[in-house]
């Protein structure tokens, strides 16, 4: 059932991001490429394995690096709903996909989408990066685009997944040592925060 829901989200997500299509957004960046860094928000591993949506984000980031659209990538996410830290797990997967370690940075503070952007942005600025993008599925791009316009003075570029560009790679599988990214004494966000508090986090209301 979960895979069916994910497939529906992927299929409908482009409807939520108004304006130029993902392909046109990427074409507009031709004169700016390569951007310094792309932020990729995390997703949980389930039983230590990636699911369809996480695979989509990972393959998209690999495409952007391989084709020279971005120089570096920040994978962002703490252990939120499952014991595996999202950012470090994604970094392991990225290396399996062929992304060089020197191009990968990891944020382990974020527990919500807005925090993925906030903490990764701070990391990017601390490293001197000037052109910053968010690379994820269109639905999450739409949500974070609204947050970015309200909270950031400089332009954050948004790169929604172009599904045709990763279609040939969707059968790829990876083998990672998930013991390396499993958090000790893990407690799910649902145990640590009530619904209203989690909703505030999703909206970025817990950020200073």
**Whether 110 contacts 88, CB under 8 Å:** no
Q: Any idea what the CATH number is for the domain that residue 47 is in?
A: 3.40.50.620
Predicted confidence at residue 4, as pLDDT, reads: 40
Asked if the structure places residue 6 within a domain, the reply is no
Q: Which domain holds residue 27?
A: 19-202
User: Does any domain span residue 8?
Assistant: no
CA distances, 207 to each of 171, 201, 202 (Å): 38, 8, 10
Average pLDDT over residues 114-141: 96
In a domain, 11, yes or no: no
Residue 121: which of 99, 151, 95, 142 has the closest Cα? 151
**What average pLDDT score do residues 37-50 get?**
94
Rounded Cα distance, 68 and 50, in Å: 25
Is 55 within a domain?
A: yes
Residue 1 included in any domain:
no
For residue 88, being part of any structural domain is answered with yes
Counting the structural domains of the chain, the total is 1
136 in any annotated domain: yes
Task: Provide the whole-model pTM.
Answer: 0.87
Interacting residues of 35 by C-beta distance below 8 A, sequence separation 6+:
29, 69, 70, 71, 131, 132, 133, 157
Report whether 65 contacts 99 (CB < 8 A): yes
Average pLDDT over residues 160-178: 94
């Amino acid at each position: 059932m979960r895979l069916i829901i994910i497939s529906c989200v992927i299929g409908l997500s482009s409807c939520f991001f108004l304006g130029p299509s993902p392909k046109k957004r990427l074409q507009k960046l031709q004169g700016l490429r390569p951007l310094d860094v792309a932020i990729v928000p995390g997703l949980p591993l389930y039983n230590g394995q990636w699911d369809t949506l996480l695979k989509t984000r990972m393959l998209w980031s690999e495409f952007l690096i391989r084709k020279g659209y971005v120089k570096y990538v920040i994978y962002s996410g703490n252990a939120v709903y499952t014991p595996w830290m999202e950012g470090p797990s994604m970094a392991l997967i990225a290396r399996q996909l062929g992304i060089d370690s020197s191009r990968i940075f990891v944020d382990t503070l974020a527990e919500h989408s807005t925090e993925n952007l906030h903490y990764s942005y701070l990391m990017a600025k601390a490293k001197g990066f000037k052109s910053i993008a968010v690379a994820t599925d269109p639905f999450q791009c739409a949500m974070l685009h609204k947050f970015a316009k309200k909270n950031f003075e400089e332009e954050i570029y948004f790169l929604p997944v172009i599904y045709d560009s990763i279609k040939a790679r969707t059968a790829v599988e990876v083998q990672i040592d998930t013991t390396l990214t499993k958090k000790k004494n893990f407690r799910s966000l649902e145990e640590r925060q009530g619904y209203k508090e989690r909703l505030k986090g999703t909206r970025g209301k817990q950020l200073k």
